[in-house]
Amino acid sequence: MPCKRTALSLALAGLMSATLAQAGEVEVLHWWTSGGEAKAAAELKATMQKQGHTWKDFAVAGGAGDSAMTVLKSRVVSGNAPAAAQIKGPSIQEWAREGVLANMDTVAKANKWDDLLPVVIADGLKYKGSYVAAPVNVHRVNWLWVNPEAFKKANAKLPTTWDEFFAAAEALKKAGVIPVAHGGQNWQDFTTFEAVVLGVGGADFYKKAFVQLDAGTLKSPTMGKVLETFKKVKSYTDKNAPGRDWNLATAMVIKGEAGMQIMGDWAKGEFLAAGKAPGKDFACVAAPGTAKSYTYNVDSFALFKLKDPANQKAQQDLAAAIMSPEFQEVFNLNKGSIPVRTGMKLDKFDDCAKTSAADFIASAKGGTLVPSIAHGMAVPSAIEGAMKDVVSQYWNDDKMTPAAAMDKLVAAAKTK
Partner 1 sequence: MAPSSARLAAWMPKLVLAPSFVLALLFIYGLMAWNGYLSLSASRLLPNYEFVGFDQYVTLFDSERWWVALKNLGIFGGLFIFFGMAIGLLLAILLDQKIRAEGVLRTIYLYPMALSFIVTGTAWKWILNPGLGLEKLVNDWGFAGFQFDWLINPDRAIYTVVIAGVWQSAGFVMALFLAGLRGIDDSILKAAQIDGASLPRIYWRIIIPSLRPVFFSTLMVLSHLAIKSFDLVMALTAGGPGFATDVPATFMYTMAFTRGQIGLGAASATVMLATVAAIVVPYLYSELRAKK
130 interacts with partner 1 by CB under 8 A: no
Which residue among 105, 204, 228, 397 contacts partner 1 (CB under 8 A)? 397
Residue 155 C-beta: closest distance to partner 1, Å: 27
In the complex with partner 1, the residue whose CB is nearer, 205 or 395, is: 395
Which residue among 7, 274, 382, 403 contacts partner 1 (CB under 8 A)? 382
Which residue among 147, 188, 337, 392 contacts partner 1 (CB under 8 A)? 392
Q: How many CB atoms lie within 10 A of CB 269?
A: 20
396 interacts with partner 1 by CB under 8 A: yes
Buried b (16+ CB within 10 A) or exposed e, 311-334: bbbbbbbbbbbbbeeebbbbbbbb
CA distance 249 to 167: 21
What track of x and - describes contact with partner 1 for positions 70 through 109 (by CB under 8 A)?
A: x--x--xx-------------x--xx-xx-----------
Q: How many residues bind partner 1 (CB under 8 A)?
A: 34
380 interacts with partner 1 by CB under 8 A: yes
Residue 90 C-beta: closest distance to partner 1, Å: 10
393 interacts with partner 1 by CB under 8 A: yes
230 interacts with partner 1 by CB under 8 A: no
CA distance 360 to 308: 39
In the complex with partner 1, the residue whose CB is nearer, 241 or 319, is: 241
What track of x and - describes contact with partner 1 for positions 30 through 69 (by CB under 8 A)?
A: ------------------------------------x--x
CA distance 110 to 129: 16
190 interacts with partner 1 by CB under 8 A: no
- Which residues neighbour 172 within 8 Å (Cβ) at sequence distance 6 or greater? 150, 151, 154, 156, 178, 179, 236, 259, 260
- DSSP state at residue 301: E
Considering only residues 332 through 351, tell me which ones interact with partner 1, judged by CB under 8 A. Answer: none
Which residue among 142, 185, 356, 368 contacts partner 1 (CB under 8 A)? 185
- The answer to whether 210 and 197 have CB atoms below 8 angstroms apart is yes
In the complex with partner 1, the residue whose CB is nearer, 76 or 158, is: 76
What track of x and - describes contact with partner 1 for positions 144 through 183 (by CB under 8 A)?
A: ----------------------------------------
381 interacts with partner 1 by CB under 8 A: yes
- Which residues neighbour 308 within 8 Å (Cβ) at sequence distance 6 or greater? 24
CB under 8 Å, gap of 24 or more: what pairs does 58-64 form?
58/27, 58/28, 58/29, 58/30, 58/82, 59/29, 59/30, 59/31, 59/32, 59/33, 60/29, 60/30, 60/31, 61/31, 61/33, 62/31, 63/31, 63/245, 63/246, 64/187
Residue 385 C-beta: closest distance to partner 1, Å: 4
8 interacts with partner 1 by CB under 8 A: no
In the complex with partner 1, the residue whose CB is nearer, 24 or 89, is: 89
Which residue among 240, 279, 326, 401 contacts partner 1 (CB under 8 A)? 240
In the complex with partner 1, the residue whose CB is nearer, 247 or 392, is: 392
Candidates 302, 247, 246; CA nearest to 97 is 302
Which residue among 137, 186, 297, 363 contacts partner 1 (CB under 8 A)? 186
404 interacts with partner 1 by CB under 8 A: no
- Which residues neighbour 273 within 8 Å (Cβ) at sequence distance 6 or greater? 35, 36
Window contacting partner 1 (CB under 8 A); options: 28-36, 232-240, 277-285, 355-363: 232-240
Counting Cβ atoms within 10 Å, is residue 54 exposed (0-12), middle (13-18) or buried (19+)? middle
Candidates 249, 279, 280; CA nearest to 267 is 249
Residue 376 C-beta: closest distance to partner 1, Å: 10
* CA 231 to each of CA 155, 227, 309: distance values in angstroms, whole numbers, following the listed order: 25, 6, 55
CA distance 148 to 285: 11
In the complex with partner 1, the residue whose CB is nearer, 185 or 368, is: 185
Which amino acid makes up residue 235? S
Which residue among 14, 243, 275, 343 contacts partner 1 (CB under 8 A)? 243
Counting Cβ atoms within 10 Å, is residue 409 exposed (0-12), middle (13-18) or buried (19+)? buried
Residues contributing to the site for partner 1 (CB under 8 A): 66, 69-70, 73, 76-77, 91, 94-95, 97-98, 184-186, 238-243, 380-382, 384-386, 389, 392-393, 395-397, 408, 416
